[in-house]
Amino acid sequence: QKEVEQNSGPLSVPEGAIASLNCTYSDRGSQSFFWYRQYSGKSPELIMFIYSNGDKEDGRFTAQLNKASQYVSLLIRDSQPSDSATYLCAGGVGGSYIPTFGRGTSLIVHP
C-alpha cells in the first residue's frame, strides 16, 4: 500500500463549480502536507502546504487537513479550464518533511 493515496480520476467539473480533490495517508506521524499542480508535459508546481489541522485558504484554493482521519483535501472554488491539470498530494512520512507523493488526480474543468 502506497503511503499517500489519491483517486487517479479523472475528476470532471463544470466551469465555475467547486472541485474537491482528496488524499489519504497511512503514516499517523506525518506532520506536513503539500499540494502540487502538474500541467501535462510540465513539472510540478507547489500551490499549497498545510501543517496544522483545519483549513488554510489562499485565493480560490483551500487545503483541509484532518489528522484524526488521516485525510487531506484541496478545494478549488470557481474552477476554470486553466485549472485542468494533475494534482499531486504529498506528505512528509516517517517524521521527515521530505514529501512522499501520491499518484495524482487528473482534474478536467469543462466550459
Partner 1 sequence: KAGVTQTPRYLIKTRGQQVTLSCSPISGHRSVSWYQQTPGQGLQFLFEYFSETQRNKGNFPGRFSGRQFSNSRSEMNVSTLELGDSALYLCASSRKTDTGELFFGEGSRLTVL
Binding residues vs partner 1 (CB under 8 A) = 32-34, 42-46, 49, 88, 90-92, 96-104
Main-chain dihedrals φ then ψ at residue 103, nearest 5 degrees: -75, -15
Cβ-based nearer residue to partner 1, 8 or 66: 8
Q: How far is the CB of 27 from partner 1 (least distance, A)?
A: 14
Q: How far is the CB of 3 from partner 1 (least distance, A)?
A: 11
Strand, helix or coil for residue 82: helix
Q: Which residue has the cell 472541485?
A: 19
Q: Which residue has the cell 482534474?
A: 107
Cβ-based nearer residue to partner 1, 4 or 13: 4
Nearest to 1 by CA among 21, 24, 20: 24
Cβ-based nearer residue to partner 1, 61 or 101: 101
